[in-house]
């Protein structure tokens, strides 16, 4: 697979694998042996960029995902880049399927998190360590200072911010250069395009999570699609309702037409669109199926011209779409604190 550079020299496969779905948010967890086998299959297909987090797990095994990734990749550790994250925990008292997030980026919490992640990942360093969500009670300069220390100690090699905004990014970057932001980005969620000039100015890459709008842009869902109401966040996502299917029909048709003209799939077009937009964007779709791993990797081979990308942008600008899942609700940490 083609490679891309994020920030100041982190080389990764042009498409990465978001590993969260093996353990969290997309139905009951995958069988452990099967999940490990799938991650290894991804490596054999050319994936070298694997995204996990300390909180991707189950109530019984809250750190399961890191353990899966560590087990799967220990035999090729020097040939892959592992991403993990710190700085949130779930409000398990909530009855919502997608439990609210509670941010916590205090220095002592970060230090405990990185040590736990290193152990579960069976490694002595994390290639890219993301602040999972901004904590309004901790200044970005303080978080960046801890990251600088961890880099100096060799426990992490690069760091980044998930769901970053411009002010927070600039303030943090001044203290310790940021390699990438990991933000929600897809044809249905383009709000962070406003950040693109800042990313280019600072030399920061974009790791795009939910690049297919939680799978919707694959075109494989229709009216009546059902999801596990206990384990699957899609059961509560607005883009999967019957009403949304009608509202988004033109979007799916746009993808299908573009896919037909390129002998591709809608999912591949949705990622080729962003891959061809900027050389520093790396999507990290998740899947539990080997054929989808291969399909997602194939998006790298679809080379859209600047004119074709602009035509898709213009069509998206004019198009009516439903609401799309924008992430779990963030609630205030009980310790309190002032906004930055």
Whose tokens are 């498409």? That residue is 15
Element (H, E) at 4: strand 3-6
User: Where would I find the H helices in 21-121?
Assistant: 32-45, 64-73, 107-120
Torsion, Cα 50 85 20 324, to 10 degrees, reads -110
What's the start-to-end Cα distance of the chain, in Å? 41
Helix/strand/coil for 13: strand
Which of 56, 129, 168, 233 is labelled catalytic? Answer: 56
Please say whether the beta carbons of 256 and 219 come within 8 A.
Answer: yes
Q: Strand 3-6 vs strand 101-103: parallel, antiparallel, or unpaired?
A: unpaired
Beta bridge pairs of residue 131: 86, 161
Burial label, 305 (beta-carbon count in 10 A; 0-12, 13-18, 19+): exposed
56 included as an active-site residue: yes
- Burial annotation 127-153 (CB, 10 A radius, 16+ → b, else e): bbbbbbbbbbbbbbebbbebbeebbee
CA distance linking residue 3 with residue 184, whole number of Å? 21
Query: How far apart are alpha carbons 42 and 136 in whole angstroms?
Result: 37
Q: Which residues are catalytic?
A: 56
């Amino acid at each position: 697979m083609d490679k891309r550079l994020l920030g100041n020299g982190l080389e990764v496969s042009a498409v990465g694998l978001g590993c969260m779905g093996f353990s969290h948010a997309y139905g009951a967890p995958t069988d452990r042996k099967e999940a490990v086998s799938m991650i290894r299959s991804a490596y054999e297909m050319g994936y070298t960029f694997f995204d996990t987090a300390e909180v991707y797990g189950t109530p019984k095994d809250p750190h399961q995902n890191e353990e899966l990734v560590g087990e799967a990749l220990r035999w090729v550790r020097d040939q892959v880049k592992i991403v993990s994250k710190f700085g949130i925990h779930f409000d398990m008292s909530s009855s919502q399927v997608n439990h609210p997030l509670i941010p916590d980026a205090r220095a002592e919490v970060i230090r405990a998190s990185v040590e736990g992640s290193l152990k579960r990942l069976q490694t002595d360093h994390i290639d890219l360590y993301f602040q999972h969500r901004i904590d309004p009670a901790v200044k970005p300069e303080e978080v960046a200072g801890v990251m600088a220390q961890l880099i100096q100690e060799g426990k992490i090699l690069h760091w980044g911010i998930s769901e970053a905004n411009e002010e927070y990014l600039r303030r943090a970057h001044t203290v310790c250069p940021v390699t990438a932001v990991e933000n929600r980005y897809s044809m249905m969620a383009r709000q962070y395009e406003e950040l693109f000039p800042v990313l280019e100015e600072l030399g920061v890459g974009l790791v795009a999570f939910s690049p297919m709008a939680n799978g919707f842009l694959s075109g494989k869902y229709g009216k009546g699609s059902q999801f596990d109401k206990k384990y699957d966040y899609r059961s509560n996502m607005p883009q999967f309702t019957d009403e949304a299917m009608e509202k988004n029909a033109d979007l799916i048709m746009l993808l299908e037409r573009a896919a037909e003209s390129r002998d591709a799939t809608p999912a591949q077009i949705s990622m080729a669109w962003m891959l061809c937009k900027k050389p520093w964007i790396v999507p990290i779709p998740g899947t539990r199926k080997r054929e989808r791993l291969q399909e997602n990797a194939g998006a790298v081979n679809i080379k859209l011209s600047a004119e074709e990308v602009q035509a898709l942008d213009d069509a998206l600008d004019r198009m009516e779409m439903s609401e799309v899942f924008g992430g779990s609700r963030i609630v205030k940490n009980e310790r309190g604190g002032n906004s930055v």
